[in-house]
């Protein structure tokens, strides 16, 4: 009885996570018994399980909304519920629902009759939610491992493809190496401080501490692990191969969703815990930011496959987020959160377009840039939407991408990071070239044979319209996004 009373409020604040776990176990039973049922003639359960997953995520979303205004440190300092964690969970769940809607036509076309796919998605979302609420280095490590193991399997989910198997194997080996770096860094921090709790680390580093060199070494290991998970240069080598080899539905998920949770835990760890000692991580992050933008801009120029080009584009966008984080100011942290949310909205639109490039009689599954050449003739509305989204990713006004980049550059310049800002601005001009080259391919590329695409599904049309609308709306009236993200950042700065 005493135990129940002691943890009653903790369970209430963690109700969305408990509901999600219960729903996952229910879907396991549903898929295991219904899919092997002779009475139901061994039905295809992919679509029904997908909608069950969407329904689960929608209910989890509303449970988080109802507990959004309640905050507190729970489970003996292991997790925290505040506006940063709650709002980031809402973004993660909304992005996951959108990714499932985009993936639904792919699942129908290729008859992906494995309910385990959706279970892996839900388990990965559960790991990301735990990561957003983590307030201890041990819970951070366990949450990262939970979502990483799911992503490894999702990358290798197409067992008939050697490329998918190769992608999963590369992701697993390099991911295990990054996890080892993270665990080694955590062990160093614990060995010289005697604690892994964020609150204790925050109070400890607010004072002058001994063993500065050893703690600096631990922070470098932890920083490298997080930079690998975010696919920042020079830790990006896995990203293009995994994006290209993994099935499209898996690529869409881990290209869009996990980054917001990584940014949140990056803010909570390096700003809240080690914010008084910025030199430990600031120089490393600023170097990786410049390297990411330069790598993403120049290596994308020679890509001919859409998924590899989007992989290098993602590396470049991570660089913009990191340059804002490395400024070490409230304005920079705010700009980084604005950028990641805007990037998610633009990315779901671009990946929606990619999933539309499904031919009536496909001769290959690899989508190249020439697949974009006929959409201006076959679907002018899709071509116009694609062009607007590409202009937004390039940072052309008056679109949301320009507003996000403007916030990042303004924060870096105000922090006197003039050299880094100039290099990144010049590199962004190069990245604009390959975005405009895609638009040129859409409208002006000449091909010798006609290509017929499958009709766009209702789900993808809805997602594409949503992304297209917010690309304009967030530039015209960014106040709502500004306020939500500002509240999130204040949780770690105050």
Written as tens digits, the pLDDT of the chain (494 aa) is 444 555 567 777 888 889 999 999 988 888 777 766 666 665 656 667 788 888 999 999 999 888 877 778 888 888 888 888 898 999 999 999 998 888 887 777 766 667 788 888 999 999 999 999 888 899 999 999 999 898 888 888 887 778 888 888 888 888 888 899 999 999 988 888 888 888 888 887 776 656 677 777 888 888 889 888 888 888 888 888 888 888 888 888 888 888 899 889 988 888 888 766 666 678 888 888 999 999 888 888 888 888 888 889 889 899 999 998 888 788 888 899 999 999 998 888 888 888 887 665 554 556 777 778 778 777 888 888 888 888 888 888 888 888 898 889 998 888 888 888 888 888 888 888 888 888 888 888 777 666 666 778 788 888 888 888 888 888 888 888 888 888 888 887 76
How many folded domains does the chain comprise?
A: 1
CA distances from 401 to 53, 181, 388, 389, 397 (A): 31, 34, 10, 9, 8
Cα–Cα nearest to 420, from 319, 299, 312: 319
Residue 394 has which token pair? 């390039």
In angstroms, the CA 380 to CA 378 distance is 7
Angle at which helices 137-155 and 248-256 pack, to 10 degrees? 160
Residue 264 lies in a domain: no
Q: Which domain holds residue 488?
A: 279-494
Residue 468 lies in a domain: yes
Residue 164 lies in a domain: no
In angstroms, the CA 149 to CA 468 distance is 33
Residue 403 lies in a domain: yes
Residue 114 lies in a domain: no
Residue 259 lies in a domain: no
Dihedral (Cα; 198, 201, 203, 208), 10-degree rounding: -160
Residue 64 lies in a domain: no
Reduce the DSSP state of residue 23 to 3 states and report it: helix
In angstroms, the CA 317 to CA 393 distance is 9
Which residues, listed in sequence order, are joined to residue 197 by a DSSP beta bridge?
136
Residue 191 lies in a domain: no
* pTM for this prediction: 0.91
Asked if 463 and 349 touch (Cβ cutoff 8 Å), the reply is yes
């Amino acid at each position: 009885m005493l135990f129940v009373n002691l943890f009653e409020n903790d369970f209430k604040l963690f109700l969305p996570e408990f509901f999600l776990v219960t729903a996952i176990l229910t879907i396991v039973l549903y898929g295991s018994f219904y899919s092997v049922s002779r009475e139901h003639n061994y039905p295809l359960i992919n679509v029904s399980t997908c909608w069950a997953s969407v329904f689960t995520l929608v209910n989890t979303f509303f449970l988080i909304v109802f507990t959004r205004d309640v905050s507190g440190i729970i489970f003996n300092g292991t997790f925290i519920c505040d506006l940063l964690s709650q709002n980031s969970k809402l973004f993660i769940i909304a992005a996951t629902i959108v990714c499932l809607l985009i993936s639904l036509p792919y699942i129908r076309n290729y008859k992906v009759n494995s309910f385990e796919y959706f279970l892996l998605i839900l388990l990965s979302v559960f790991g990301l939610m735990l990561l957003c609420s983590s307030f201890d280095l041990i819970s951070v490590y366990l949450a990262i491992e939970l979502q990483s193991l799911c992503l490894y399997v999702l990358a290798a989910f197409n067992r008939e493809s050697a490329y998918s198997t190769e992608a999963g194997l590369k992701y697993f080996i390099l991911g295990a190496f990054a996890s080892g770096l993270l665990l080694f860094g955590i062990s160093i921090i614990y060995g010289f401080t005697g604690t892994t709790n964020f609150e204790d680390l925050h109070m400890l580093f607010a004072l002058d501490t001994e063993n500065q060199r050893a703690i600096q070494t631990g922070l470098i290991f932890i920083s490298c692990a997080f930079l690998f998970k975010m696919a920042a240069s020079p830790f990006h080598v896995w990203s293009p191969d995994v994006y290209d080899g993994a099935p499209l539905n898996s690529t869409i998920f881990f290209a869009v969703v996990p980054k917001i949770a990584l940014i949140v835990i990056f803010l909570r760890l390096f700003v809240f815990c080690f914010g008084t000692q910025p030199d430990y991580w600031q120089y490393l992050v600023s170097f990786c930011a410049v390297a990411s933008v330069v790598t993403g801009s120049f290596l994308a120029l020679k890509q001919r496959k859409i998924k590899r080009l989007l992989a290098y584009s993602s590396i470049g966008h991570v660089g913009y987020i990191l340059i804002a984080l490395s400024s070490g100011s409230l304005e920079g942290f705010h700009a980084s959160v604005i950028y990641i949310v805007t990037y998610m909205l633009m990315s779901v639109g671009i990946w929606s377009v990619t999933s539309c490039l499904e031919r009536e009689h496909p001769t290959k599954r690899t989508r190249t840039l020439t697949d974009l050449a006929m959409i201006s003739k076959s679907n002018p509305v899709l071509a116009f939407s694609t062009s607007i989204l590409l202009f937004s990713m390039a940072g052309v006004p008056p679109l949301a991408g320009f507003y996000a980049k403007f916030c990042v550059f303004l924060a870096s310049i105000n922090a006197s990071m003039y050299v880094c800002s100039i290099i990144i601005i010049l590199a962004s001009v190069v990245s604009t070239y390959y975005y405009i080259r895609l638009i040129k391919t859409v409208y002006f590329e000449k091909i010798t044979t006609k290509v017929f695409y499958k009709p766009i599904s209702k789900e993808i049309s809805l997602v594409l319209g949503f992304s297209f609308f917010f690309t304009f709306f967030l530039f015209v009236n960014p106040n709502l996004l500004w306020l939500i993200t500002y509240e999130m950042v204040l949780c770690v700065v105050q």
